[in-house]
Amino acid sequence: MYLPTRRPIGSLLRGSGFKDVDDFFNDFFQSFDVQPRKGKGPNFSPTLDVVEDAEKYTVTAELPGMSENDIDVSVEADRLILKGHKKHEHQERDEKNSRYYFERSYGSFERIVPLAVEVDHDAIEASLKDGVLRLTLPKLPEVTEKTRKVSIKKS
């Protein structure tokens, strides 16, 4: 259940306006059960493609610069969980290589993909090639009969 953060109107006029704006957006995102990014600086959050067909889910994640040891994949009930940590490549600074521009992101991440249908945990396959993680999650066969009439015999 979503409960917005309430503050007296006077508190909006005191101090930094940025905190109030930040609180506003945090409340907004919580109303959709979406968590905004925390912390300062570039955060790493891999991009995902999720494709569903009749037999399986196929998930593709871009994880440049990461090895299989940096990534944790698990399935819990009705969701796929990807966790990992992209390490910062420390480079010594000298007179010849001063940093001019910095765009690459580093850090820990967690992505959760909801699954509408249960998957076969024992048949999940994962491969990592050229910084792209590919997951195949076969679906469990659906039970076609939800309700079954049981006949009663006379004894």
For residue range 47-77, what is the model confidence (pLDDT) as tens digits?
999 999 999 999 999 998 899 999 999 999 8
Q: Tell me how many domains the chain contains.
A: 2
Residues 16 and 79 in one domain: no
Residues 108 and 138 in one domain: yes
Q: Is 85 in contact with 77 (CB distance < 8 Å)?
A: no
Residues 32 and 45 in one domain: no
Residue 109 included in any domain:
yes
> Could you say which residues of the chain have pLDDT below 70?
1-19, 22, 25-43, 89-103, 143-146
Place of tokens 């420390």: 90
pTM exceeds 0.85 for this model? no
Burial 49-62 (b: 16+ CB within 10 A, else e): eeeeeeebbebebe
Residues 2 and 23 in one domain: yes
Instruction: Tell me the residue range of the domain where 53 lies.
Output: 41-89+100-142
